[in-house]
Structure 1
Amino acid sequence: MPLYMDVHHLGEPVSVDDVAKAHLADLEVQDKYDVKYLRYWVDEDRGEIFCLVEAPSPDAANIVHKEAHGLVADEVHLVQEGS
C-alpha cells in the first residue's frame, strides 16, 4: 500500500488536543476507504499538521479527512519510510 505524508496549513494556531480529536474521527471512518492513518505531528504555533497515512491514493486519504471532520490536506506527498 502506498505511504503518504499529508500537510495541513491552517494559518492559525491549533492545539494538540483538537488534532487528537480529528485523528480519532479519521480512525472511525478510515476502514470504509481502505485507508490507515498511522501517526501525526503538530506545530501548534504555526498551525501545521502532518499526517502519515497508508492509502490506495491521495484522494482516498483526503476523502477520509473530509468525511471525518472536513479538514482536508493542502499537500499530499508520496513517501518511503527510512531509518
Structure 2
Amino acid sequence: MRRRLRREVLWNGNVEPPLRTFFTNREHIVRWAFSTRNKYGVLISQLQDERPDLLIVRLRTPREVQAWLSGPLANNPSD
C-alpha cells in the first residue's frame, strides 16, 4: 500500500500498479499466492513418493533459511 500511495520506484523504473488491479487482474501476485498456496505441498509430496533419492529440504523460518544458507553450501565453488 505504502509503495503504491507514494509511487515509490521499485526496479528499472517500475512502480506498483493501481490498487484496483488486485480485483481486476487474475494474475495479481497476491491473488496468485492465495490461489496456489496449497498446490506446492501436494506436488512436493508426489515428488517425494516418486523420487525417494532426492533430498527435500523444508525451511519454515527465517532462522532455518539463514542456517541453511550459511552451511556447507555457502562455499560451493559451482556458484
TM-score when normalising by structure 2: 0.24
Larger Rg: 2
Asked which structure has the greater RCO (Cα within 8 Å, sep 6+), the reply is 1
More helix by share: 2
TM-score when normalising by structure 1: 0.24
